A and B are shown apart, each in its own frame.
Chain A
Amino acid sequence: MIEVSGLVKRYGSVTAIEGVTFSVGSGEVFGLLGPNGAGKTTTMRIICCVIPPDAGSVVVAGVDALRDPSRAKQSIGYLPEVPSVYSRLTVRENLEFFARLYGVPGGEAEPRVSRLLRFFSLEERADQLASRLSKGLRQRLAIARALVHDPPVLLLDEPTSGLDPISAREVRDLVVRVAREEGKTVLLSTHNLFEAEQVCDRVAIIRRTILAVGRPRELAERASIRVPVRVALANPSEGLVRVALSVQGVTSAKLESGELVAELEGDPDSVVPELSAALVAAGAKILSIRRTSSLEEAFISVVRGGPRVRSRSVGGGGRGPDVNTGTAEMSGEGVVRA
């Protein structure tokens, strides 16, 4: 659905992106993951024809976006990083304006606007000025606005940036719903690893160029990442360390400031429950279990130039396994309360 090849963009002497190549399959949620200044927004703005690249090609829904931007734009719903709704228009007027701008026929516009208001739970606020909405609701409206012309492709630039944890979770839920229920192809940029892991079928780690592409779990596995887990205990003891070491997938364990610190190999989602069950069976009183995301470890490793994670395929993938939306919002750190 999106084919990006060899994109280069320079701002004077600064090269923002160089040789960016990836593709996103139909119905896929694809994340562009990178630190600030990595070129995520530049890549997004090129794909939606806001700025031209210095080299490379972009094909969206079968249309060459550089040769026929007007047709390509028709296939894209774009959510920029800055909330992009008109505060002096009502919620409904915002949607109606963009429906007309994208040439949605008069008879279709009204039911589509009504459906989006329902889908995004904005019906009760339809006639309120957008300026009166909270930041989270405004972001919901902005996503609805991006969908009003029913584009097959949705580009979301940092969709949860600046939102409180509850609003951010709502937006993540909506993105997943839009992809699953509306069948949209979603390209989202983020520097939030937790978000990428929870929402995306595949991610590309970008820093001026694409460093790695794959499913979040695959990236961690390919980087041979060992995931550290910290278990806060009411009754820490060396005996519990030995119990931890006996669990398959635990490569090391030690006590550190009253916490049991273990390193896991393989899929942490299956090792952590086994570890906690073994510890409880041995009489441990667990206060909390905290682990860093495996994607975060892979990300840091790739961006710092550690173990190189090579993508097996840069091509579009199918839909990945069902994803859950998480509860924590701490830059890639998940918290499991015991």
Chain B
Amino acid sequence: MIRWSRVLCVLTKDWREFSRSGWLVGTALALTVYFGVVLPAIIVFGARISGGAVVPISIPVRLGDLPLPAAPEGLDEVARSVYAAFSLIVPPLFLVIPLAVSTVMAADSFAGERERGTIEVLLAAPLTERELFLAKALASLTPGVAASWGAFALMALATNLMSADMFGGWWFPSGPEWYVVVALVSPLYAFLAISLIVLASSRARSAREAQQASAILVAPILAAVFGQVLGGFAIGLEHLLISAAVLAGLDAGLVALAPGRFFSGVRYMRVD
């Protein structure tokens, strides 16, 4: 049986610690502002200035030429380009927010406590491994999810304000895919990253070293972006739902594996 009062106690302690670290708060804020305001501005004004070519010139594709399911009728080239960027490029990139924020937090929470030696007193406290893992995983996940939701709200506001004239009104989010990405895929992806960090933290000597374990998760994001931009495939709603199901399965598997590995690694980190 999980004692939620103790889970909440560790979770709020971790949040308080995160909030006092300039590096952690700075990472979360910078990513939120970048994805919420800077990226939409680059896309919208880039499209306006270039007449629709928002991708680098070396790639011989105009985004507006890509097949866009559910694109509104009658859009001009610039609007089609903006629409394509927010439908094909930004959704996979959006996963970077919870991925980056949660991995920084998880590395600090798991490997950091081990590095600083404070994990020892938590292991000696009346707290089960499950409760401790749950508290720390949730403490790491929630800032990442909050940052991505904040960035999504900012992005919706900024994008609509900057491009309403092209679409004849507010148009973003462009489809239900966005809600699946923000509400389902990105938290599950962040949780996968946290589990990898926890696994790495059982052996890593520092929080930074543990953080590197999640770098591998950037590869699928890049593959999704370039695959779509270069016309190899288009990710639709059904693909996102399947991805969410696969991620949920992977998360469940790692939840079964990671805490045991981590706590075993921590308990036997030294022999006197």
Contacts and interface: CB of A to CB of B under 8 A. Distances in A.
Contact of B120 (A16, A36, A38, A50): A50
A84 B123 CA distance: 12
A39 B270 CA distance: 11
Given A50-B123, A82-B117, A88-B17, A36 B272 contact: yes
A86 B13 contact: yes
Given A42-B271, A97-B9, A101-B9, A89 B16 contact: yes
Interface string A45-72: 1001111000000000000000000110
Nearest to B117: A82
A50 B124 contact: yes
- Chain B, interface residues (CB within 8 Å), range: 20 to 34
A86 B118 contact: yes
Contact of B272 (A40, A88, A98, A102): A40
A73 interface: yes
Contacts of B128: 70
A48 B125 CA distance: 9
Interface string A76-112: 1010101111111100010001101111000000000
Interface in B9-24: 9-10, 13, 16-17, 20-21
A122 to B, nearest CB: 18
Contacts of B117: 80, 82-84
Interface residues of A, number: 39
A198 interface: no
A42 B272 contact: yes
Given A50-B123, A80-B117, A84-B121, A41 B10 contact: no
B46 to A, nearest CB: 40
Given A42-B271, A86-B13, A88-B17, 16 more contacts: A36-B272, A40-B272, A50-B123, A51-B267, A51-B268, A73-B124, A74-B126, A78-B121, A84-B118, A98-B121, A98-B125, A100-B5, A101-B6, A101-B10, A101-B125, A101-B126
Given A84-B118, A93-B16, A101-B9, A11 B126 contact: no
B98 to A, nearest CB: 23
A88 B20 contact: yes
B21 to A, nearest CB: 6
A37 interface: yes
A281 interface: no
A100 B116 CA distance: 21
Nearest to A73: B126
A68 B127 CA distance: 12
20 contacts: A11-B268, A41-B270, A41-B272, A50-B124, A73-B124, A74-B126, A78-B120, A82-B120, A83-B117, A86-B17, A87-B116, A88-B20, A89-B13, A89-B17, A93-B16, A97-B13, A98-B121, A100-B5, A101-B125, A103-B5
A145 B120 CA distance: 13
A210 B21 CA distance: 46
Interface string B63-99: 0000000000000000000000000000000000000
Contacts of A38: 272
Nearest to B272: A41
B124 A78 contact: yes
Query: What are the 3 closest A-B residue pairs judged by CB atoms, nearest first?
Result: A82-B117, A41-B272, A78-B124
Contacts of A48: 124
Contact of B124 (A49, A88, A97): A49
A83 B124 CA distance: 14
Contacts of B5: 100, 103
A47 to B, nearest CB: 10
Nearest to B120: A80
Contacts of B124: 48-50, 73, 76, 78, 80
Contact of A88 (B21, B127, B267, B270): B21
Interface string A27-39: 0000000001111
Interface string B245-267: 00000000000000000000001
